[in-house]
């Protein structure tokens, strides 16, 4: 009889411990999901796209990041459609990531590519270390860590 009570008590402890582990896992997962669902949209200004640069380039440098007083200026050399006259920039901060998406007009018809420089400023960027991810549509074109 003593052995049966001890076994029931041990089984109860195992079940309660398992339930606590599941609850702790769920709290961790849901709390991290909640943070990632609330990105902070960044204001973009001074968005300028250059005309085509003369000559061909086979390699492009990483974007240049200039930070000061909560503003992050980005200068980025890209290979774009020759007819592209502007690029819309959408940017937000999620946790320790700055996610930037370049939106290029899909209706342009030139059948050529050329190197262009895109310059813009992001506002209200808190100082810190971020993974910066830049995409054009679904294609990721830059993914590195920067400290501001």
Q: List pLDDT tens digits, range 119-132.
A: 999 999 999 999 99
Residue 33 pLDDT greater than 60, yes or no: no
* For residue 55, pLDDT beyond 80: no
Instruction: Report pTM.
Output: 0.72
Residues 74 and 26 in one domain: no
3-state SS of 34-102?
HHHCCCEEEEEEEEEECCCCCCCCCCCCCCEEEEECCEEEEEEEEEEECCCCCEEEEEEEECCEEEEEE
Say whether both 91 and 107 belong to one domain: yes
For residues 82 and 103, membership in a common domain is answered with: yes
User: Looking at residue 99, what is its pLDDT?
Assistant: 97
Same domain, yes or no, for 69 and 134?
yes
Are 93 and 107 spatial neighbours (Cβ–Cβ below 8 Å)?
no
Q: Say yes or no: 8 and 75 in one domain.
A: no
Residue 35's pLDDT band (cuts 50, 70, 90): very low
The domain tally of the chain equals 2
Question: What per-residue confidence (pLDDT) applies to 9?
Answer: 56
Looking at the fold, whether 50 and 31 belong to one and the same domain comes out as no
Q: Where in the sequence is the domain holding 34, given as residue range(s)?
A: 1-38
Say yes or no: 74 and 113 in one domain.
yes
**How many helices and strands (H and E) does the chain possess?**
1, 8
Pair 44, 16 in one domain: no
pLDDT tens per residue, range 63-119: 999 999 999 999 999 998 889 989 999 999 999 999 999 998 877 778 888 899 999
């Amino acid at each position: 009889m003593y052995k049966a009570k001890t076994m029931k008590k041990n089984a109860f402890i195992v079940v309660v411990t398992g339930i606590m582990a599941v609850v702790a896992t769920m709290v961790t997962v849901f709390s991290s999901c909640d943070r990632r669902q609330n990105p902070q949209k960044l204001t973009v200004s001074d968005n300028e796209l250059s005309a085509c640069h003369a000559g061909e380039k086979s390699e492009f440098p990483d974007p240049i990041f200039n930070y000061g007083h909560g503003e992050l200026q980005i200068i980025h050399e890209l290979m774009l459609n020759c007819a592209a006259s502007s690029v819309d920039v959408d940017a937000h901060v999620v946790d320790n990531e700055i996610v930037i998406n370049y939106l290029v007009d899909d209706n342009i018809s030139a059948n050529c590519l050329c190197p262009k420089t895109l310059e813009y400023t992001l506002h209200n960027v808190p100082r810190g270390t971020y993974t910066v991810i830049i995409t054009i549509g679904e294609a990721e074109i830059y993914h590195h860590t920067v400290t501001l």
